[in-house]
Amino acid sequence: RYKPRNLLLTSLGPGPHEETCDEFQRTMAATVTELLVLYDDGISAKTPKFP
Q: pLDDT of 5-39, one tens digit each?
A: 777 776 777 778 888 999 889 888 988 898 898 88
Q: What is the pLDDT of residue 1?
A: 65
What's the pLDDT band for 40 if we cut at 50, 70, 90?
Answer: very high
Helices (H), 1-51: 21-41
Residues 6 or more apart whose Cβ sits within 8 Å of residue 13: 19, 23, 24, 27
How would you classify residue 21: left for phi > 0, otherwise alpha for psi between -120 and 50, otherwise beta? alpha
pTM > 0.75: yes or no = no
